[in-house]
Amino acid sequence: MINQSIKIESYKHNDKIHRTWTETTILTVKPDIIGVNERCKVIEANGNVWVTKVPAVVVFPKGKWFNIVGMLNPERHSYYCNIISPIEKTESGIRYVDYDIDLVYERGMIRVLDEEEYVYHKKIWGYSQNIEANVKTAVTEIKQWMSAEEGPFAPGFINFWYNKYKVVKGEIR
């Protein structure tokens, strides 16, 4: 899996595909899975296709109910975190269930998005108490990491992994 391009598939709780990132280069799997995608084709459930505009370092912390996407915007880095089920490895890459809530971290500010979507899906799909507890824990933990600038939020983390990706791609020697 290391230095290979994989597909990342996001599903909803009803087991319907939500979104697919077609190419993410995996740089490490220990202890966390870390990869980079750049100008990646993304396919939405409705068939719409778009291409990412900025490079992104994608982190799947081992055993956590979230992932972290560090985006290398020209003027500043920003982070988009998805609350997800623990990942499953598939033949073509990684798969997980998206549990709606997202957190954005930019310029020291934390925003929580899509809580209404979570409440709606919790009602119609009957999320278990275990799912609810893991979602709540994940939101709290991400906020703590953001505030403390821990893990992927630490200064230099995103640049380090993006530069490693450039070496793998032969763009830096």
Residue among 63, 46, 47, 52 nearest 21 (CA): 52
Query: From CA 118, how far away is CA 140, in angstroms rounded?
Result: 16
**Bridge partners of residue 26, in order along the sequence:** 35
**19: annotated active-site residue:** yes
Return d(Cα 109, Cα 118) in angstroms, integer.
Answer: 22
Between CA 2 and CA 34 the distance in angstroms is 9
Exactly one of 19, 76, 95, 107 is catalytic; which is it? 19
**Alpha-carbon separation of residue 65 from 5, 22, 57, 128, 168 (angstroms):** 23, 22, 18, 15, 28
Positions annotated as catalytic residues are: 19
